[in-house]
Chain A
């Protein structure tokens, strides 16, 4: 569930700050505890509103994080698949806290937004089922307890 999200200008680009509560289900956590790596995806989109027409998607960013557990150390390791950096967390809560805290994610250059148009941004978090081991995929697709999807959180960009 996206608790809060906002776009703000930082230098020449717009960046997104957001707080996301990853409501992992018991099945997710069970899999995670048993050494199954989960991949979560955060989608961020900026769209130009066009009235009757479909909104035009100006930019669509996808942030992918892979969560692994280390049995030996008992640590939760979060790997940012876009940057390749990793971070260890000693507890699940700590991991979720950090993962859910997005700060200054650059999204779009400022000059791409013109003054005389309306824009909206939206964000959502979901579990990447295709990244699961294949035996789990049919279950993950079919079972609602597996499907993790926050739904879109959308807001108008005010300037």
Chain B
């Protein structure tokens, strides 16, 4: 709701202005000269003010009614107060108005009295009669002058005029010719030279009907009696001339007549104006009444609204508080009971707000903790499920979904049985859990870890699972880890250990067997008979050969199982290649060994013994592959850089053999894949493992020109991060 002009000052000023203008207007009605000129303007101003006030009130009324119809809080109270105010102010004013009007009309009527009017008319008549007597005398006098002038010619008559005037006491005598021309004149007043000429109508009357006599104001010279009569011509045939005589009325008579005339005129005017006067008084009074009435009504509106406003605020504030807005503070009102109410309300909302804020703060704290826990649970690689008292799923974290391979979020609210029905893979887990829950309700009894095998889309997984009851006994929490990889690594480590021991245990008796066979041969071969000798030779040789191959097998087996710790240094690959190739060159003179070494070649950061083993394995395969062919050759090549700008060193071994056989070409790096009768199939597998441990890569394919070609890529030593050994299952085995 708008509060136009907070203070009362504008209203007071407006009221004073209106009061002033109405005062002026009522003065003006009485026709005092000062305000007479302003009367119309004042009337207009007041009318405009009236219209303005009317519009203001109409607008207020409209708003108020509109609000009342909409049942806006406080509107009905305002309406009631406005009605009371208006009735209280309008009633006395209207009564005063009515009686004022009565008094006014009666007062104006009392100014006029038939007797006064009669008296004034009589006075007027008296003046006329008095003047009439005098006029008749003057007519007779003029007739005498005219008869005197009759026998005279025009010239003689003009000469006689002055005397005649002086004798008769006229102020002016004029002789007018037949043609209307002034023949001559005699004037008392020396200042006026021009004689006054009678009107044409008078002349006409004097010529035709007879003498003219009348009372007239002649210019500024006051009241005069004017006589015009014809003077017969001295010649019988001549046209009659006219004589005009002006006689001044005596000064006293003039004054008296003037006074009577003006008084009578004034009274007559007033009497005529009686009706308009009443009307304009009524108008003025009405405007004064309406202005004050409208001002009062408008003031009633304002004061009612001012009184109701705090109540309205209170009502709206209460509603707001009920709606949950505790910020509501009302503008403080005056220091009365309502003001006290408003202050109490403000205090109440302050306290409400404080309480609400505290609740909210603790709520936020709880929410923050919850969010924290949720984050932790989400980041956890351990699966966590919670169940309520009815064994329904309440929460499941991301890891649980990942591990079980089931969308657990969709299963929230389902019981464990439903879960098992829906996902048969989870049945073993569910059964295990139910079994545990069935074991007892005492908290301590249920807790413990157990391994459960579960089939998941990623394959069979082993879960280490533990359960605990939630605080309060309402529900349980299930925690499980995916132990598949861990168990696999453990198993692998155990196998490695077995293999190593086995190799060791087998290798130990092999040497004595070999030595014994060789000594047997050496000592008894020449002593036995020839047939037996041949047989013995064959048998001992077989023993020695088989023991040798067994030794190799065991060595390879233990090599795979046990890998000593890496000892990486910066080495020159070219030197290593030359070194190893030289060994093969002397061992297999039939094969031509070619080396194409890239220089300069970045150093590689590697264990030299293991790299040597890689080279051995590759060269051995190459020599074995090309050994039977014609002009066999083996080409060993080094060069810097891989395919990309990664700093790598490339090593490749190419031979003139038949290349990889089709049935093994895809699997040559897998252990125990071999096409050789005595091969272990571990050579390339070990080479791959070593290369990968150095952060490199190995690949093999048949070269377009024939022969197999194995390519090894090793990271160069001067890379910023250095070679990072790849963590793999083998590393875990070694660590375990």
Q: Which residues of A contact B (CB under 8 A)?
A: 30-31, 34-36, 69-73, 75, 77, 86, 88, 90, 94, 129-130, 133-139, 141
Contacts and interface: CB of A to CB of B under 8 A. Distances in A.
Given A71-B261, A72-B124, A134 B36 contact: yes
B268 A34 contact: yes
Nearest to B258: A72
11 contacts: A35-B269, A36-B269, A69-B265, A71-B261, A71-B268, A72-B257, A75-B217, A86-B220, A135-B279, A138-B283, A141-B40
Given A72-B127, A137-B39, A138-B43, A90 B199 contact: yes
A94 B200 CA distance: 11
Nearest to B257: A72
A86 B281 CA distance: 34
Given A35-B269, A72-B127, A139-B276, A134 B29 contact: yes
Contacts of A129: 40
B279 A133 contact: no
A133 B37 CA distance: 10
B216 A35 contact: no
B49 interface: no
A31 B201 CA distance: 27
B264 A71 contact: yes
Contacts of A88: 216-217
A130 B261 contact: no
A130 B273 CA distance: 16
Contacts of B277: 135
Interface string B30-66: 0100001101100100000000000000000000000
Contacts of A133: 31, 269, 273, 276
Interface string B207-238: 00000001111011001000000000000000
A138 B279 CA distance: 9
B261 A90 contact: no
Contact of A34 (B31, B219, B269): B269
B375 interface: no
A90 B201 contact: yes
A80 to B, nearest CB: 13
B28 interface: yes
Given A31-B272, A133-B273, A73 B280 contact: no
B262 to A, nearest CB: 9
Given A133-B273, A138-B283, A72 B261 contact: yes
Interface string B108-132: 0000000000000000100110000
B617 interface: no
Interface in B247-292: 257, 260-261, 264-266, 268-269, 271-273, 276-277, 279-281, 283
Most chain B beta-carbon contacts within 10 A, residue among A36, A71, A90 = A71
Contacts of B39: 134, 137
A75 B273 CA distance: 21
A150 B219 CA distance: 30
Contacts of B128: 72
A135 B29 CA distance: 6
A90 B200 CA distance: 12
Q: Which of A70, A90, A129 is packed against the most chain B CB atoms within 10 Å?
A: A70
A90 B273 CA distance: 25
A40 B269 CA distance: 19
Nearest to B131: A72
Nearest to A91: B201
A35 B276 contact: no
Given A35-B268, A70-B261, A72-B128, A130 B40 contact: yes
A3 B265 CA distance: 34
Contacts of A130: 37, 40
Given A70-B261, A73-B214, A130-B37, 18 more contacts: A35-B272, A71-B124, A72-B128, A75-B217, A86-B219, A90-B199, A129-B40, A133-B273, A133-B276, A134-B29, A134-B31, A135-B276, A135-B280, A136-B273, A136-B276, A137-B43, A138-B279, A139-B276
A70 B217 contact: yes
B216 A94 contact: no
Contacts of A86: 217, 219-220
A71 B217 contact: no
B280 A90 contact: no
A31 B280 CA distance: 16
A94 B201 CA distance: 10
Contacts of B37: 130
A31 B271 CA distance: 11
Nearest to A84: B220
Nearest to A98: B199
B283 to A, nearest CB: 6
A21 B261 CA distance: 30
A88 B202 CA distance: 13
A90 B28 CA distance: 35
A71 B280 CA distance: 27
Given A34-B269, A130-B37, A133-B269, A75 B216 contact: yes
Contacts of B216: 73, 75, 88
B217 A134 contact: no
B666 to A, nearest CB: 102
A36 B260 contact: no
A139 B279 contact: yes
Nearest to A31: B272
A7 to B, nearest CB: 28
Contacts of B283: 138
B257 to A, nearest CB: 6
A133 B199 CA distance: 32
Interface string B720-736: 00000000000000000
A77 B279 contact: no
Given A134-B31, A138-B280, A90 B217 contact: no
Interface in B2-49: 28-29, 31, 36-37, 39-40, 43
A32 to B, nearest CB: 10
Contacts of A73: 214-217, 223
B273 A36 contact: yes
Contacts of B43: 137-138
A94 B40 CA distance: 33
Contacts of B220: 86
A139 B36 CA distance: 15
A30 B269 CA distance: 10
A42 B31 CA distance: 26
Given A70-B261, A71-B265, A134 B28 contact: yes
A137 B40 CA distance: 7
Nearest to B35: A134
Nearest to B263: A71
Nearest to B271: A34
4 closest cross-chain pairs (CB), A and B: A34-B272, A35-B269, A35-B265, A72-B261
B248 to A, nearest CB: 15
Nearest to B29: A134
Contacts of A136: 273, 276
A36 B127 CA distance: 22
